[in-house]
Chains A and B, each alone.
Chain A
Amino acid sequence: MAEPRQILIVEDSPDDADLTVRALRRGGLELVYARVDTADAMRSALQDHPWDIVVADYSMPLFSGLEALAMTKHHNPDLPFILVSGRAGEDAAVQAMKAGAQDYFLKGRLDRLALAVERELGEAETRRERRRAEDRYRNLFNQVPVGLYSVTADGHTLDANPAFIEMLGFKDLAEFRDEDLRTFWKPEELAQLTEILVRDGVVRDFEFEGHRRDESILWGLNSLRAIFDTSGKIDHYEGVVVDITERKHAELELARSNQDLAHFANVASHDLREPLRMVSGFCDLFARKYRGKIDAAADEYISFMLDGVRRMEKLIQSLLLYSKVGKNSHPTTVDLNIVADSVLKNLSAAITDCSAVVTRGPMPRVWGDEAALFGLLLNLIANALKFSGTRTPEVRIEASESLSAWTISVIDNGIGIEPAYFDSVFEMFRRLGSQSEYPGSGIGLAICKRVVEQHHGKIWVESEPGAGSTFRFTLPRHTAEETQILDGSGSQEHPDTPR
């Protein structure tokens, strides 16, 4: 059996209270109760104890039923209240119900009181649950860090949460209500968004540029759906906006700094080259004229000088190469099968030299710059051969697909990389091995990263020291250009299906 019901009886006559309790018990109700008959006693009873229901007499010498009702509703609007009166009176009943009482009974006709109490307790529970759900929703609406709003087709805001209002630079909804929401977006983007919305009834993750109240730029990711009225016409729209301004700024900043870096690399490589040509030319000339003619120490110095110069030349060439990534790029549909084969052909001497086993799976066709993608695969595969350690190198090239991108993997069984270096291997001039053990410019992976980023992809490494490395990069499956080509030809065939 459930917990006994907690009933507060407001009644000056102990006998009448007893009658009420008996009527309830007769109706099958298990209960505990307290009786009060003054305002003070009731106030403290309400504060001290969680009651399930209040049953009050209509008229008492020191207190009235309607006062008790007001006190109850003030204390807790959800607490059910039933009035019991000694005399019949329609007016009193109507008055009580208007003031919020749940039911009205005449003393001496209490046979259905237990039923009413049960019903009210159930309804109170439902009300409490609905209120809790509403509170949860309100809390979420108020606290969630994304903007939620509903708006009419002519830009009138029906509702908006604090995150949304703050996002646009306003204090509260009242301040914002008279604004036409449409004026905050860029007109051309608004037109595009409206077009999709009218066509599909829904827009997902639409990236837009707008502005705040103070005219500062706001970048957002907007999802909207139309809400229809009963006649099937669009009534209003409900939207979700995520503020991506910071991310966007960071992206732009990164693009700018990449641009700066490329520019710096370009200038540096040109300016470094000039004096290097002098050093290099005369080192060579000196070696040609005086090697073997001075003494053994001189010969050793000469060879160190030449070694240093040659390495410097390679570095500067790589720097120049890095600065040129993305310049003069000619994006087309590129068959990576063909690219991978020509990379392997290019590396055939190296592969034979270390008796490496190189295999590849079917590759997709992608949108990109063929020469850059060739360099990318060449670098990754050459690295896989180079960092093989003592084992016979086994290299596997694979492609896998997701909804939006291809992932190309170059898997080796080489020396592997410590997790601490997973990011920094892609930095310029970052070398993990010694120059004598693994000669190189330390710029190959930086170039790879730049190529992948120019193709709007990502590159990363998964590895365990001693257990080989897997370098993976992604390439988007459909860029705007490719989609346009497809649309233009009316072809249904996907150009990037592996063959």
Chain B
Amino acid sequence: VEARNIQILLVEDNPADVLLLKEAFSENRFDCVVTVAHDGSQALEVLKHPGSRAAATPDLIILDLSMPKVDGFTVLAEARKDFRLTNVPVIVLSTSQAAADIDLANQLGATRYLSKSDDFAGTLAIAREIADCCREFTEKL
């Protein structure tokens, strides 16, 4: 639909979650290019090298919180400090429903906070919400 494909950076250490989300995108016919970073440090690696890859300036970041090495909060904080990424929507997608995590993510500048679903129907709904959020932001530009 758009001139170029939507670029999404998915920061997620669990390959099963990656696969489920990709399947949900494709069932929803959400056309996008998903680059996967398998932990926080990989995500920072990708984001800190502008120009090398299209994924370095994604249209949207999907961020898990609990990951080895560098966690999602750190990635979020780093992203918000980078002028190129300040306005990129970041959707936190976590199993945690703890108020402390939600508050911290919002304070650090998360665009949305979504809880991972127990079933695939829920994952489809999450995928729709991500797509909507993506459209909302690309239309703004």
Contact = CB atoms under 8 A, between A and B. Distances in A.
Nearest to A270: B95
A492 to B, nearest CB: 41
Interface stretch (B49-57, B69-77, B116-124): B116-124
B123 A281 contact: yes
Interface residues on A, range: 10 to 19
A280 B120 contact: yes
Contacts of B116: 277
Interface centre among A273, A276, A277 (most CB of B within 10 A): A277
A326 B95 CA distance: 22
A4 B137 CA distance: 119
Contacts of B121: 284
Contacts of A313: 118-119
A288 interface: yes
A480 interface: no
Contacts of A282: 16, 20
B23 interface: yes
B26 to A, nearest CB: 11
Majority SS at the chain B contact face:
helix
Given A285-B20, A285-B23, A280 B95 contact: no
Contact of A284 (B17, B95, B120): B120
A278 B117 CA distance: 10
Interface residues of B, number: 13
A309 B121 CA distance: 14
A301 B130 CA distance: 33
A146 to B, nearest CB: 50
B16 to A, nearest CB: 5
Contacts of A284: 119-121
B16 A281 contact: yes
A322 to B, nearest CB: 16
Contact of A280 (B17, B23, B118): B118
Given A282-B20, A285-B20, A277 B120 contact: no
Interface centre among B95, B116, B117, B119 (most CB of A within 10 A): B119
Contacts of A309: 119
Contact of B119 (A270, A274, A280): A280
A288 B23 CA distance: 11
Given A280-B118, A281-B120, A281-B123, A274 B95 contact: yes
B73 to A, nearest CB: 19
A281 B24 CA distance: 10
A278 B118 CA distance: 8
B127 to A, nearest CB: 12
B16 A276 contact: no
A274 B27 CA distance: 23
A278 B16 contact: yes
A284 B20 CA distance: 10
Given A273-B118, A288-B120, A313-B119, A281 B20 contact: yes
Interface string B102-128: 000000000000001111110100000
Contacts of B95: 270, 273-274, 277
20 contacts: A270-B95, A276-B118, A277-B17, A277-B95, A277-B117, A278-B16, A280-B118, A280-B119, A281-B20, A281-B117, A281-B118, A281-B119, A281-B120, A281-B123, A282-B16, A282-B20, A284-B121, A309-B119, A313-B118, A313-B119
Interface of A: 270, 273-274, 276-278, 280-282, 284-285, 288, 309, 313
Top 9 A-B residue pairs of the complex, sorted by shortest distance between their CB atoms = A284-B120, A281-B20, A278-B16, A280-B119, A285-B120, A313-B118, A281-B120, A284-B119, A280-B118
Given A273-B95, A276-B118, 15 more contacts: A273-B118, A277-B117, A278-B16, A280-B118, A280-B120, A281-B20, A281-B117, A281-B119, A281-B123, A282-B16, A282-B20, A284-B120, A284-B121, A285-B23, A313-B119
